[in-house]
Structure 1
Amino acid sequence: MKILHTADLHLGQVIYQNYDRSDEHRHFFHRLEQWCEEEKPDALLVSGDVFDIQQPSATVKKAFTDYFVHLHQVCPQMHIVITAGNHDSASRIQADSSVWKLANAHLIGTPPAVDSLEQADGWQHQYIIKLDHGYVVALPYMAGERKGIIQSILDKVTEDNTLGLPVVMMAHQAVTGLDITGHGFDIGTLRTIDSDAMGSGFDYLALGHIHKPQTIGHLEDAMSDEVCYHAPVIRYSGSALHVSCDEAYPHTVSLVDIDQHQGRVQIRQLRIDELRHFHVLPSDGTSFTSADEALDAMKAFVAEGQRGYIRFRFDVNTGLPSNFGQMVYDALLPYDEEWRYNPKMLWTGVSADDASEKEKLVFEVAELQQMTDPMVFIERTLNQYPNLDLDDVRQAFEEVKAEMLLLSEEKQEKKRQKTKSVQP
């Protein structure tokens, strides 16, 4: 069984509150189309975070449709399996699933209900896709552990899999033992689940959510072009694009070949040639000490050609004019957004006025705008609240988050049951 595994497309992302990335996604899908033509996989798997926000614009939704319809036209024999991530609206992903089956595509948005095990048997088949050469268990993002539910689905596959065909499972989760480089999480703040909670019986677990390509238990092989392991294998394909400037590592699509159930899993990383790379100036690792120095260096750098995103590294004692950002935008204007500016500066050194000032965090406006987790702000300002119990606060937020997700799922389930009851 051969699959192409990708995740975290984040279609519709507007980066740094200013730049649309549609041409970067178009560039990625052009390359993905070439790989599908060349490799002719049994299935293309997209493990969540298809969109950057839960209510994408009509333009973004059209792009999504155009991309995947064209992939189907290029490789009509290939199955396309797309699951919802935490950035997606589960119900919106699920809504058009019947129509997408006409294009050999399977969209799974709504996760199994928390009381699935109490329901009549048979619900498991909603998440099982049987292919000619194997099985795909397609699970969207789920809050918290649901080992019993997951195992119940895998057990159904085991019952049917009398020929010993490969079994692939998809999920959008953070599991223990991962490398969170590039995400901006502080160690211990990302909620993870143990890999054992994902059940047993799969040969390859195609994960999304973490943007760095990696195989759990084999982090030393993260950048290896080709590896082979004995099943089961748990892997993050990584995101399609560098979602932030901190993701300095290569991004890839995983080409996975599985010979048989409980057999050998061969993984080849297909490296994505990003349309725009992220650059930090000065590129030699030093820091600028004046605005003029930075602007002159930037103008010389962009004049060399190419295109990308630019971020500056300054010594903390550098005084910048209030209109520095506008000066950068004006200098890049002739390049028609081929060169783009990341206003989140990198500061080095210690203030000459008062070394303790370095402990007083100052946030850029762009940085605050991009914060989606209140714990990030609380943790980075903890020194101002000496009596605050961070563990209690974190636990409270997690309980509220879990309760809200549970209420949402219960509401969706009641709506489905109500719909069924009124059908003739």
Structure 2
Amino acid sequence: MVRILHTADWHLGHTLAGFSREAEHRAALDALVEIAVREAVDAVVVAGDVFDALNPSAEAQTLYFDTLARLRAARPHAAIVVVAGNHDPAGRLEAPGGLYRLADVTVVGTIARRPEGPDLARHLVPVRDARGAVGAHVLAVPFPRVADLPPLDGEIAGSPVVAGVRALYGDLIARAKAAIGESPLVVTGHLHVAGGLESDGAERRILVGGEHAVPPDVFPRDAAYVALGHLHRPQAVGRETIRYCGSLFPLSKTESGYAHGITLVDVEGAAVSVRHVPLPRPIACLRVPARGALPAGEVEAALAGLGLADDLPAHERPFVWVTVAVEGPAVGLHAEIGELAERFPVRLAGLALERPAASGEAAPDAALAVRLAERAPAEVFREAYRARHGAEPTPAHEDAFATLLAMDEAEG
């Protein structure tokens, strides 16, 4: 039996409302290394989005390499496999190849090919138990970029992008199975699989060509386990052995209620068992109020009611999302709530304004679809202002918008 730790979507370098998440990342990765030791894992698979940006900071890269070094020291025999996600700089992730080889770490940013097809030596990694016996193999497949998809011949039924992804996985898995025989195969993926629940405002719709998701049957049933990254909610898709492990901690308001963590996968021949292990929440992520909205005049009392210690260090202060009920214009309300939050040991992560629906208001799908290019900019501005503030823009606002529009037209 071999045990695999499946993690993904670290998003090192992520900030929230301008606040660094580095302290949270360090705490979460400390916990991840502790789990790897406690659970005596034989492999660690990172299924993409190691970094939050294509140009990660020096601090983010240092934390990444330090974590790999700690995992290697903690589990000397374990396979460590990292694949690139859509947020990652694929080439830069692969660049320290010589150092990775010294540390016996496999990092795959792009599909490696030879004239005869994919280079399995770059993508297929054996997983050995503590005695050295091979108990499974990992097929490391990164986020499928345009250049990674194979050419397709003949007429394609349905989406050519989905067909390309299906062909890519079909070819890689067939070659891998031919090479390893009956050994269980664990496949990685960083993409949206249809049926997976998204986190509003957190994950990009990423498949090339404008496509959004691939069906679960892209992954054949003879794959023992599919370790997915991209969606931040821990969940199975299609079948129990196709799983997103989720991110390390909340990266947006939508994610504040998730049981963030890692997934442990035990593989013994044809038998596979899956266990999600929650990680301790490094910093509290709170909604004020917990449900619904409250008047602006009650926000101060609600923040005081959190009962937080005034001497909390800045990096330990909880993130707070505030929802305020408004009926009229809300000009200046964002600044007002921001100043109010600064009096308390919290970090204001976001402010949402909730308005009562107007009587007789048409349903969103009742309006005729109109292309943005067919509408006058001033009309779009007035509509956006009304939606945001619940009132008509003043002449001063109209003049300011007209000035900005004229400047934009003069520049372009």
Q: Which structure: larger Rg? A: 2
Note closer, same or farther for the CA distance 1:52–1:178 as it changes in structure 2 (3 Å cut).
Answer: same
Q: Which letter does structure 2 place at the counterpart of 1:265?
A: V
Q: Counterparts of 1:297 and 1:205 in 2: how far apart (Å)?
A: 44
Q: Tell me, yes or no, if the aligned pair for 1:82 and 1:108 is still in contact at 8 Å.
A: yes
Secondary structure at 2:350 match in 1: coil
- Kept in 2, the 8 Å contact 1:141–1:171? The answer is yes
Q: 1:277 — aligned with what?
A: 284
- Could you tell me how far apart the structure 2 residues matched to 1:49 and 1:298 are? 34
How far 1:281 moved relative to its partner? 1.0
1:151 aligns with 2:157: no
Q: 3-state SS of the aligned residue for 2:189?
A: strand
Query: Match for residue 371 of structure 1?
Result: none
Per the alignment, residue 170 of structure 1 pairs with 188
Please report how far the alpha carbon of residue 151 of structure 1 lies from its aligned counterpart in structure 2 after TM superposition.
2.4
Q: Residue 152 of structure 2 aligns with which residue?
A: none
Whole-Å Cα distance in 2 between the matches of residues 186 and 37 of structure 1? Answer: 33
Alpha-carbon separation, structure 1, partners of 2:202 and 2:56:
24
What amino acid is aligned across from residue 32 of structure 1 in structure 2? L
Aligned equivalent of 2:254, options 246, 269, 274: 246
**Conserved 8 A contact 1:111-1:141:** no
Q: Secondary structure at the match of 1:52?
A: coil
CA offset digits 1:87-126 (Å, max 9, x no partner) = 011111111133112222111111246xx7xx22562322
CA contact under 8 A between 1:158 and 1:201: conserved in structure 2? no
- Measure how far apart 1:249 and its partner are: 1.8
1:69 partner SS:
helix
Match of 2:229 in 1: 208
Q: What CA distance in whole angstroms lies between the structure 2 residues aligned with 1:314 and 1:98?
A: 54
Counterparts of 1:16-415 in structure 2, within 5 Å, are 16=17, 18-112=18-112, 119-121=115-117, 123-132=119-128, 133-143=135-145, 144=161, 145-162=164-181, 164-183=182-201, 191-199=212-220, 201-217=222-238, 233-247=241-255, 248-260=257-269, 263-283=270-290, 285-290=291-296, 292-303=297-308, 307-317=317-327, 320=330, 322=332, 324-325=334-335, 327-329=337-339, 331-332=341-342, 335=345, 339-350=346-357, 356=361, 386=370
Which whole-Å CA distance do the structure 1 matches of 2:292 and 2:110 have between them? 49
What residue in structure 2 maps to residue 400 of structure 1?
Answer: none
With over 3 angstroms needed to count, the CA separation of the structure-2 counterparts of 1:208 and 1:186, relative to structure 1, is: closer
Q: TM-score, normalised by structure 2?
A: 0.74
Conserved? CA contact 1:176–1:193, under 8 Å = yes
Structure 2 CA distance for aligned equivalents of residues 158 and 34 of structure 1:
33
Alignment of 1:1-20 (within 5 A): 1-16=2-17, 18-20=18-20
| Change in 2 beyond 3 A, CA 1:59/1:169 | same
Give, in whole Å, the separation in 2 of the partners of 1:170 and 1:99: 23
Tell whether the 8 Å contact from 1:40 to 1:78 is kept in structure 2 after alignment.
no
- Which residue type is aligned with residue 123 of structure 1? D
The change in CA–CA distance for 1:286 and 1:58 in structure 2 (over 3 A counts) is closer
Residues 1:135 and 1:67: Cα distance change in structure 2 (over 3 Å): same
Aligned 8 A contact 1:7 1:47 in 2? yes
Output the CA distance in 2 between the equivalents of 1:308 and 1:282: 14
Q: Percent identity?
A: 25
Conserved 8 A contact 2:41-2:78: yes
Maintained 8 Å contact 1:280/1:310: yes
Asked whether the 8 Å contact 1:112–1:149 carries over to 2, the reply is no
CA distance in structure 1 between the partners assigned to 2:263 and 2:99 by the alignment: 27
Amino acid aligned to 1:131: V
- Contact kept, 8 Å, 2:47 with 2:82, in 1: the verdict is yes
Instruction: Tell me, in whole angstroms, the C-alpha distance in 2 between the residues paired with 1:346 and 1:61.
Output: 37
Answer yes or no: is the 8 Å Cα contact 2:78–2:127 preserved in 1: no
Single out whichever of 249-258 and 315-324 deviates more from structure 2: 315-324
Distance 1:182 1:277, change over 3 A: farther
Query: How far off is 1:303 after superposition?
Result: 2.9
Contact 1:295/1:328, CA 8 A, preserved across alignment: no
Judging changes above 3 Å, is the alpha-carbon distance between structure 1 residues 124 and 307 closer, same or farther for their aligned structure 2 residues?
same
